[in-house]
Structure 1
Amino acid sequence: MVSRRAFLAGSGAVTVGGLGFIPGFATTAQAAVSSTSGSPARLLPVFNRPKHLDYGDVSKIGGADQTLLTTLQGVVNRTEPELYFIYDTGTQSIPDAKWLTDMRLPTKLYKNPLDLVAKYRNRIRGAIVHDPAVPDSLNVATTLAGLENAVVADADQAKAHGLRIVKDLRGMFDDDRVKTYRWQLDNLFPRVTKKLLAGLPPTQVVDVEGVVWQEIARETQQIRDSSNRGTYNLDVSAKLGKEAVYVRFADSFTDDGWGASVRHVVVTANGAEFARFEPGAPEEAPYLFDGSHSSIGGEANRFADGGNYWIYRFEPPAGTTSLVVTVEMWNQYLVSATDTSPTRVEPFAYFRDYVVATKALVSWLPPGGATGDLLIEHYAKWPTLAPYMGWFANDVSGEWDGVDLASKGGSPVIAADFYMNGTVHAGFTAPISEKPRPVRRISKPKNKVYLTLTFGEGDNIQYCQRHLRDLWDDPKRGDAPANWTISPLLLETGPGLFSHYQRTATANDLLVCGPSGAGYTYPGSWVPDEFTQYLKLTGSVLRRTGMDLVYSYSSRENDKWVLLSEEIAHGFATYTPLKGIMQTWDGDLLAVRQGGLPIVGQWGAPGNATEYKAALDARVAQWDGASPLFISGGVNAWGWTPSDVAELAGLLGDPYELLLGNTFFDLLNRVL
């Protein structure tokens, strides 16, 4: 990463991008600390402003070819952004195309995007050939591609495109992940950037088109209390006849977060048992075909909520005519089966342009056991505040453990594993206002229930790039007050994105900082002196983006989120312009003053607008009405839209008043 700043003098706006890829500060921490002295500093890499973009639609090509192109993009765009790609986002609106249109740059479409390899072949030295038999070798190849100005390819791709092999990794590694990444750390650390670390899965599971699933069992009621827990015999015999049967467990009501949960599995073929396992145990591994979209719960149960799922693969003995899967199961299950492999494994192509361009080291180390120990060693070797960009293995548990390790190691996390065209967005110039949104001041608080609603997920820059754009384009946005968490680090990773949201916000939209400041982190896990550096960095980027509210995590004790400490809250008050903090919370309604700042616990409820309102009413029924009641309500960004918020607002009569966050905290600050 490198440091530089640029302002529109006297305009109250910051212009980011366009000064070139130049050497930076001696350490990331020095860069951040210098930003508190009145001279804003830069944390993340800088790229030249794009002038013209060659682009292509890569949504229909495989992950191997996408990886070839994204690593080519990294080498080419390091000097000046010239390549841009349209990905399949799984949505109808395809934000990649929208952002390209919004930039209003001269462009040229390549109908066959692989033609760009020939056009830019003279810009690369050749190919780093990964070993398809060792998936993690693709990450080592990506690190080497950045260092050697090369692309990542397999042997067949290198031959097809006439690419010289710069380094051949075939046969260098085995399936020992720790040994592979130990070699990378020992041999490549001296050459990679010390400004950031990257974490990307080497492969991804891709849906196969045309697979037909047969429903086996469905819970038709929205059960959330395990009251239907029991033993279920799932007869999947109808799907016998091919090599294997695939059984998928999903959520029958995808909008409220109480999907299928399974504790124990026994499989019988023609009445004879041939599989028995508990979720998460080693015995499950041979049968777990795709568990990446599910999690392990506290009872050693596997569960999947919303649009998530998991799939078991059972290959019964030859001649099997009856196949029954017996499970202990509960909540809102939806079970289906097929005889066709529903997915395939491909290289994971996303975000590799940014990794290659910045010459970053990329790994994939689950944050527990021996891989977790090696990840801790990575954090120790990089300077304080060097961000960890990408994501973690093991879904929810990986998130908690991974962010905790990063926090202890002094690294804020930037969720970026699906952030596409980052080398273009980081260089695109856009005006960003430094002025906070004016407060609609309520002269005197009344004995009412003051409610503010906040969309989560904004620390995730890929969410800001993709799903947030879809939500933002909902025609009902602005009909009711809503807060939108967003990453202030878009100031550097995507100023055009941040500028768009800031410029097009209605009077009922308020941008607030996503957890927990300049990068996703758990404040209670930091070394205090290093957390002060993080707070100084947060103060700098908040002042430059005009935000003065933050959604923050704290830390966990006995599996519960606890109140931010007096010392941490005081640090926020000292080093940042915050007017208040919304924080994760597991207890009753919370509204307190801590460290000089008002803090509210984030409250939420599952279901649709009617159910949310009913849960609010139940909570408010305990209120005595003798003083104002303040509730900070969370909105599930993956399940709700502005239309849902507008519907809820229409249900709120007396004693409720729905407020934007700045008015909410202005009022709370005078009441506490």
Structure 2
Amino acid sequence: MRYLALSAGLLCTMLAPTASVVAATSQNQYQSYPAVVEIRAGISWPTGQALPIFATPAPQLDAVPIGALSPDEQLTFSALQGYVNKQQPRIYLADLRAEEGSKTWPQTSTVALGKMSFFDASSRYDLIKKYASDFNGVVLYDTTRSPHYRNLAGTVAGLSGALPVTTEVLERIRDQGMNPNVAVDLTELEFTSPIEIYNYLYDRYWGDCTRRLIVSARPDDEGGNFHHTRDIATACGAAVVWLDGRIPAERDVMRKFYGDMTAGDAIALGWYASERSGITTASEFGIGTLPADYYSNSSIFSGTNHQIQIPAVPSKPQLENKVYIAVFISDGDNIQYTQHAMRRRWDASSDARAQLPLNWTIAPGLVDIGPGILNYYYSTATPNDCFVTGPSGMGYAMPVNTLTEPGAPVGIYLKDSDRMEGYARLSETYLQRSGLRVITIWDNANEMQRAAYERNCRNLYGATVQNFRDVPSVRGSVEGDRVRFEKLVIPYAGSIEHLESSLQHELGDWDGTGPLFLAYQVDVWHELKPDRIVEIASRLDERFPSAVQFVRADHYFNLFNEAHQLPWNLCMSAATMASDHGSTDLGGTVTDGTPTTIWTASADAAAAAPPWLQLDLGSAHSIHRWVIRHAGEHGLNRDRNTRDFTLQVSQDGRAWQTIDTIRGNTANVSDLEYSPVDARYIRILIDNPGADSIARIADIEIYGQRVQP
């Protein structure tokens, strides 16, 4: 049984107006990847989309070197950047000391920024003069009593369309012949503590701020963040705060902000005074955080290359009596890491990456805030590179903390089931949009949380959980007879000896009576670079010949399910062959795990008969779930999705049994469940291709398990 429906309430809470809708199963309703967005002006921020998408950058950009700006000038220029780039990205704040190289991303093909006209230290205020019509006066502030006035001024400026300025910056602006009015004067405020300042912000301005985004940015003179993601805060009217979760009174103020935000339609950008005290505070309310305290030019990178080129997935290895090892590389949830350090490590490890399957954590939120960056990694990945989410889905959340730190004792933080559902639904949106199929959870998930992941994240193959201090509740489990939660053997291996000695121990204890599955996460910052992991794998193969196989995470979880007689994606098997009315072998076009390769057929291509697609699974399997990605122009035109189609199965490829007929479909993904049926062959008859009479299928997934003799 199945139905095709989407409730109005679900649509409002989960989907962007431009999004395509997944056909619901009898148990589930959820959305697919949304339409590709191309914006010529303004921003797009529909409901269900975590972050705004900016327009395509102008071919000619105005650039100012960050090194030419004082901290308070950075605040002013980032606000100007936000206002200008909200219409069309035209201002770039150049970091000439960027770890990856100052020209690396602008000259990367997936980003491809245009020419830049530089305003240097002597001419930087000419840029303000050039765009004087884009802002309305100034918000005057003074840091003498507290540096937190920077955040208050930035917030107030974003709401009033003004530039945050100190007296010194205002004088420099006036030196250029401009005389902006002072829209708000904050210099007369006498607050000295962050609690006073942010309570004032909350009481006076929070009601006018967007509740969908909050930026946590350190305003201190030493180590402060004065421009990172402040452009996006200004463009969206987001509050900018900095409260220390290790201090109970400050944590309580932060909880007031998060308590007004809606799980599933809100995100935090930035970082915290300490990792766990900040992350657990946000997690309590189902709010994920994108670590972004050094992420630059968010309003520029958000506008690049919105069509995500999800990499093809190679066929998984045949299940054998082996030890399967999945290695997960930290810390890709940090979007500043993907912008800076990861780029350098990734490019330097291309040879090693080609030799061994490795699993790279990455932030699915990059589809909004850095699609060109995400597409670079996707387009340069080898078949051995698998991408998975950083913790713990869409944005860093910590449902359960297993490591005591000041302000963050061990315990369950995300206790509200509605908030957990919201976070899981948002995570599913971004699993679909980014093509990610595995979540790495920091640290753990209890029964309620695991059930929410399984119920809402239909794109999920599996998840890892980790245990920093031997908390007994951190365990492996299978939820809904579908999703494996794998307890990592080591949650954050930091050295070659640490990883290799554990692997040697586990392999030495293996009794060889059945497949063994071992998952590790490694600390990317120290010894365990990809080439070192390759060396470890080589030594293991020498000691345990033909017994060890390193695998991609998507293969790992499908192999686990196959080994334990649980449903798995049968299209991932090398034995599964696809054909159509005109070809006996489609070469994996519809079984390669990506919607970017599309099978097409015109209505007259099959003469009198309708076009059809057929899968030969190689042997009989018990089948219960079909996932069909119709991919009408990647969701850009729903009229081009397959309108009417029929699902059939067969034992011998001659006698066919109809499972269902679907009529009037407009969804670009159908996810359908039925009572199990035994079959070797699967067929989809395209009864009505859609408005332009061209049938399109991007990808097919069939879930089941082998029929035992």
Tell me the TM-score normalized by structure 1.
Answer: 0.69
Once residues 14 and 480 of structure 1 are traced to their aligned partners in structure 2, the CA distance between those partners, rounded to angstroms, is 34
Cα displacement (A) at 1:381: 2.1
Cα distance in 1, alignment partners of residues 265 and 102 from structure 2: 29
The structure 1 residue matched to 2:534, chosen from 607, 623, 646, is 646
Task: State the SS of the aligned residue for 2:116.
Answer: strand
Aligned partner (choices 464, 479, 482) of residue 594 of structure 1: 479
**Residue 22 (structure 1) shift:** 5.9
Is the counterpart of residue 456 in structure 1 residue 333 in structure 2?
A: no
When residues 153 and 20 of structure 1 are mapped into structure 2, their CA distance, relative to the original with a 3 A threshold, is same
1:72 aligns with 2:80: yes
Cα distance in structure 1, aligned partners of 2:384 and 2:439: 18
1:511: Cα distance to partner?
0.9
Supply the distance in 1 between the matched residues of 2:161 and 2:338 (Cα, whole angstroms). Answer: 30
Equivalent position to 1:413, from 278, 289, 294: 289
| 1:201/1:629 CA distance change after superposition, 3 Å | same
List runs of 5+ in structure 2 lacking aligned partners. 1-12, 21-32, 401-413, 565-709
Q: Which residue of 2 aligns with 1:440?
A: 315
Deviation at 1:169, TM superposition (A): 1.9
Look up the match of 1:371.
250
Distance 1:55 1:492 in 2: 23
Q: Deviations over 1:444-484 (max 9, x none)?
A: 321x3211111122222222222221222113333321111
Greater relative CO (CA pairs within 8 A, separation 6+):
1
Q: Which of 521, 526, 529 pairs up with 1:634?
A: 521
Q: Does 1:512 align with 2:388?
A: yes
Report the residue type matching 1:117 in the other structure: I
Following superposition, the deviation at residue 526 of structure 1 comes to 4.0
Alpha-carbon distance between aligned partners in 2 of 1:584 and 1:47, rounded to the nearest angstrom: 36
- For the 8 Å contact 2:454–2:479, the answer to whether it is kept is no
Q: How much has 1:75 moved relative to structure 2?
A: 1.4
> Structure 2: how far apart are the matches of 1:417 and 1:608?
27
1:322-471 equivalence runs, <5 A: 348-367=226-245, 368-395=247-274, 399-433=275-309, 437-446=312-321, 448-471=322-345
Q: Does the C-alpha gap of structure 1 residues 23 and 637 become closer, same or farther in structure 2, counting only changes over 3 Å?
A: closer
In structure 2, do the counterparts of structure 1 residues 108 and 72 end up closer, same or farther at CA, with 3 Å as the change threshold?
same
Change (3 A) 1:453 1:408: same
CA distances 1:103-160 after superposition (whole Å, capped 9, x unpaired): 3243223150614223222322233222121100000010012112222222111101
Identical counterparts, % of pairs: 26
Q: Displacement of 1:17 after TM fit?
A: 4.5
1:572 counterpart = 2:453: yes
Q: Which amino acid aligns with 1:623?
A: W
Q: Does 1:87 align with 2:98?
A: no
Q: Helix, strand or coil for the counterpart of 1:440?
A: coil
Instruction: Number of aligned residue pairs: give it.
Output: 502
Which amino acid in the other structure matches residue 47 of structure 1?
F
| 1:379–1:406 contact (8 Å) kept in structure 2 | yes
For each residue in 1:13-61, what CA deviation from the matched residue of structure 2 results, as whole angstroms up to 9, or x when unmatched? Answer: 9634526446866xxxxx33xxxxxxxxx23223222123222322354
Give me the whole-angstrom Cα distance separating, in 1, the residues matched to 2:103 and 2:450: 38
Does 1:192 find its partner at 2:209?
Answer: yes
Alignment pair present for 1:117 and 2:128: yes
User: How far apart, in 1, do the equivalents of 2:317 and 2:354 lie?
Assistant: 20
In structure 2, give the amino acid aligned to 1:148: S
Cross-structure match for 1:46: 53
Q: Residues 381-427 of structure 1: CA distance to partner in whole angstroms, max 9, x if unpaired? A: 233334342344332xxx22222221222322222222211111122
Deviation sequence 1:341-385 (CA, Å, 0-9, x none): xxxxx6633221111111101111112311111111112223333
Relative to 1, partners in 2 of residues 1:137 and 1:494: Cα closer, same or farther, differing over 3 Å?
A: same
Q: How far apart are 1:94 and its partner, in Å?
A: 2.3
Whole-Å separation in 2 of the counterparts to 1:349 and 1:512: 29
Question: Partner amino acid for 2:370?
Answer: G
Asked if the contact 1:565/1:594 (under 8 Å) is kept, the reply is no
CA shift for structure 1 position 567? 3.5
Q: Which AA in structure 2 matches 1:582?
A: T
- Inter-partner Cα distance in structure 1 for 2:94 and 2:104: 6
- Counterpart for residue 429 of structure 2: 540
Any idea what SS the aligned residue of 1:197 has?
strand
The alpha-carbon distance between structure 1 residues 173 and 603, as it changes in their structure 2 partners (threshold 3 A), is farther
What's the secondary structure of 1:570's corresponding residue?
helix
Matched, 1:142 2:148: no
- 1:95 CA displacement: 6.0
Please give the alpha-carbon distance, in whole angstroms, between the structure 1 residues aligned to 2:495 and 2:539: 12
Cα distance in structure 2, aligned partners of 1:204 and 1:473: 34
Structure-2 separation of matches of 1:23 and 1:480: 40
Aligned CA RMSD, in angstroms, stands at 2.9
Distance 1:394 1:84 in 2: 28
Unpaired runs of 5+ in structure 1?
26-30, 33-41, 207-345, 556-563
1:647 alignment partner AA: E
Of residues 151, 159, 166, the one that matches 2:183 is 166
Render the CA deviation track for 1:186-235: whole Å, top value 9, x for unaligned.
111232112212211112525xxxxxxxxxxxxxxxxxxxxxxxxxxxxx
Distance across 2 between alignment mates of 1:461 and 1:439: 27
Helix, strand or coil for the counterpart of 2:304? Answer: coil
